[in-house]
Amino acid sequence: MAKIRVIFENGDPERVIEFDPADAPLQHDGQPGSILDVLLGNRVHLEHACGGNCACTTCHVIVKSGFNNLSESSEQEEDLLDKAPGLTPTSRLACQAVIEDPASEIVVVIPRYTINQISEGGAKPEP
Ligand code: FES
């Protein structure tokens, strides 16, 4: 089983999600097996204004651990990331970063400005 630990920069409780990449897609937005796919499929809301089609930056996440366990980013993703607020060297678009290895352990931070509304845990949208 692969594992994603999700840290919310706004202080919401962490989530640890275990999943089998072979089960992807878990829902219909983003690349099958992407961070976005796994989060949405486990009822962790992440903004994805373009529907996971690599056409916005609302699904920006920062990968704290396991960066090399993700699929390589495309030129289009890199171009979009250049416009993302708070870009870091390990930033990815969650809809494009696919976890392929079932032994992967990934830690991602959802930046405060990425969080709009968390559907679970009762968090309120950022002002
Ligand atoms: S949801 Fe738009 S780029 Fe990921």
Position 115 in a domain: no
Domain containing residue 94: 2-110
Higher pLDDT, 67 or 10: 67
Q: Which atom of ligand 1 is nearest to the CA of 51?
A: 1
Structure tokens at 12: 């919401």
- Residue 70, C-beta contacts closer than 8 angstroms, at least 6 positions apart: 35, 63, 92, 97, 98, 99, 106
Please indicate, yes or no, if residue 120 is contained in any of the structural domains: no
User: Residues 35-47: what's their mean pLDDT?
Assistant: 96
- Whether residue 119 is contained in a domain is answered as no
pLDDT of residue 113: 75
Q: Is residue 127 part of a domain?
A: no
For ligand 1, is residue 97 a contact (CB within 6 Å)?
no
Ligand 1 centre distance from Cα of residue 30 (Å):
7
Residue 126 inside a domain? The answer is no
The total of structural domains in the chain comes to 1
- Is 104 inside any structural domain? yes
Residue 122, in any domain of the structure: no
- The whole-chain average pLDDT of the chain stands at 90
Q: How confident is the model at residue 100 (pLDDT cuts 50, 70, 90)?
A: confident
What proportion of the chain, given as a percentage, has pLDDT over 90?
83
* CATH number where 69 lies: 3.10.20.30
114 Cα: distance to centroid of ligand 1 (angstroms) = 11
Nearest to 90, CA basis, from 112, 57, 75, 68:
68
pLDDT of 115 reads 53
| Residue 57 Cα to ligand 1 middle (Å) | 6
